[in-house]
Amino acid sequence: MKFHDLNIRGTDYNNDLALIKEAYKFGWDYLNLNYSQDHYKEALSYKDDLLEEISLFEWKDSYRNKYNSQSIEISMGINIQNANSNEIRKIVNKYRNNCSYMSALGGDLKVNRSVCENHRMDVLSRPYYKRRDSGMNHVLAKEAARNNVAIELCFRDVLKNSLKFRANIISSFKEIMMFHRKYNFPIILTTDSKSIYDIRSTKDIVGFFKSIGFSDKEIYNGFYYYPREIIDFNRQRKNMVIKGVKVIEGASDFTEIDSKTPKFEESECFDEAISQKEDDFFDCDESEDDFSDYDEEDEVFVGESEDEFTDVEFESLEKEDLL
């Protein structure tokens, strides 16, 4: 199994490269760097340089080179932010044919519904954002299933919040998973890492989602099966004639086409799938250069972030009060 994270927050060349190196050390195999609609073109300008740097890098500082000599895969996508339903539709029409991954930040019920009803969108990210509920209901769940729009749950929302706000997010995760089990829409699990200090190992992430009631199959689907389906589908998008019809090169009449993405086998032990990646992790040598691009001002604490649950006032709290 390869672990996919479809939401790494891209900013600039140096920070993106540091995130990729750190994520690979911690067991991730595929990363999608997300940018806002205003910075996506700028990111494409250095994508080739980033790929070249990764291909030349010798993973000698990573414990993973003992088990896996294959380099990490990356892609770039758009995460639409601060846009209403009409603006989202315009952005999708503008970038869809030139973008391999498109998601939209949720929270507002109108935005949540417009994304779930748009079959050209890949993901509705964080429908619970700035809300006291999950942002999902049975109507949105049916639309997401019908249009094959995945719902994204971000681990960073739990990592960067505490007390009742963390409990509220975990409750939203469980409610969304309840709708998923009933209506069977796709769910992807991401980290939304902004700096190297946000990245956690795959074993830690799996352990967290297990602790809140996710099954092995649901974790497998969230980190591998559904992300892989999104990636493979978008690679074939140019061959799509209309929704549900595509051109298959070399296929004869009545050729049966099966998904290449392996589904979860009930007989396999999920813990064993990642145990090999975690062996001797603490014995690896840390390079001082890995932390050279980190800016302390970018660290997010509850009450200091303008985009984290602003419907509650935090200005009177000190950092010590949150410990």
Residue 159 lies inside a defined structural domain of this protein: yes
Residue 204 lies inside a defined structural domain of this protein: yes
For tokens 């140096």, what's the residue? 14
Residue 67 lies inside a defined structural domain of this protein: yes
Average pLDDT, the chain: 81
Model confidence pLDDT, tens digit, residues 34-92: 999 999 999 999 999 999 988 877 665 554 544 455 678 999 999 999 999 999 999 99
What pTM did the predictor assign? 0.79
Q: Which residues contact 12 (CB under 8 A, 6 or more apart)?
A: none
Residue 289 lies inside a defined structural domain of this protein: no
Residue 29 lies inside a defined structural domain of this protein: yes
Residue 313, Cβ density class (10 Å: 0-12 exposed, 13-18 middle, ≥19 buried): exposed
Tokens at 263, concatenated: 């589904």
Residue 266 lies inside a defined structural domain of this protein: no
pLDDT at 155 over 80: yes
pLDDT band at 296 (very low <50, low <70, confident <90, very high): very low
Residue 55 lies inside a defined structural domain of this protein: yes
Least confident of 15-24, 123-132, 240-249, 282-291: 282-291
pLDDT at 323 over 50: no
pLDDT for 237 equals 79
Domain that holds residue 124: 4-246
CATH of the domain at 18: 3.20.20.140
pLDDT at 30 over 80: yes
- Please give the average per-residue pLDDT across 99-125, as a whole number: 95
Rounded Cα gap, residues 321 and 323, in angstroms: 6
pLDDT for 243 equals 63
Of all helices (H) and strands (E), which one includes residue 32? Answer: strand 30-35
Question: How many Cβ atoms sit within 10 Å of the Cβ of residue 248?
Answer: 10
pLDDT at 120 over 50: yes
By the 8 A CB rule, do 125 and 7 touch? yes
pLDDT at 304 over 70: no
Query: What is the total count of domains within the chain?
Result: 1
The torsion angles phi and psi of 282, rounded to 5 degrees, stand at -80, -5
pLDDT for 103 equals 97
Of all helices (H) and strands (E), which one includes residue 123? Answer: strand 123-125
Residue 280 lies inside a defined structural domain of this protein: no
Rounded Cα gap, residues 101 and 150, in angstroms: 12
